[in-house]
Structures are given as C-alpha cells and as structure tokens.
Amino acid sequence: MIETNEYHHIVQFAIEQLPPRRRLIYQLNREQGLDYQQIADELSISRHTVKNQLSTALQSIRRVLLQAARIFSEKIFNGIGTSACCFVINW
C-alpha cells in the first residue's frame, strides 16, 4: 500500500514539475491560502489567468497521481496482495 509519506513525495514531485509561474500560483493558493484575486493582484495578472493556471496545475498533479496509482495497482495485481486493491480503486 502507498504510505502517506510516499503519497506526499509523489505530490511534491508533481508540483516541482510544474512550470515556475504555474507552480508559484499553485503555492500561493494552496500553501499560503491566497484567493484568486489576491494572487492576481500580487502577480499583476488577471483573475481569469489565475483560475486557468490553477486548473491546469491540478490536472497535471492528478495525472502524476494516476500514473503512480497505475504502477502501484500493477504491483498489487501481480501477486503482492488483494487487500490493497480497494485502496487503489478508491484512491
């Protein structure tokens, strides 16, 4: 089963792969709690751009998590065990 620590490493890896500006927008929103307008004001960009960049960032992170889940599920279905299958399906 993927440990919480491994999950956080995968998410961190996905965040690090984002283009610098998109990563900054993501971090301002998710880590510092700024809303779209605050980020837009701070970076002198439109609120719409912030929204689009966050959406794209989340899609990228989800894509990395899905790839990790596929790798994990292949290991499970190759005989490691069946009890963790529900974890992969519900993840």
- What are the mean pLDDT values of the chain's consecutive 10-residue runs (91 residues total)? 78 96 98 98 98 98 92 71 45 36
- Per-residue confidence (pLDDT) for residue 24, from 0 to 100: 98
- Per-residue confidence (pLDDT) for residue 7, from 0 to 100: 85
Q: What's the pTM?
A: 0.75
Range of the domain at 58: 4-90
- Per-residue confidence (pLDDT) for residue 69, from 0 to 100: 86
Count of domains for the chain: 1
How many residues comprise the chain? 91
- Per-residue confidence (pLDDT) for residue 91, from 0 to 100: 36
| CB neighbour list of residue 23: distance below 8 Å, 6 or more residues apart | 15, 16, 57
Domain CATH number, residue 39:
1.10.10.10
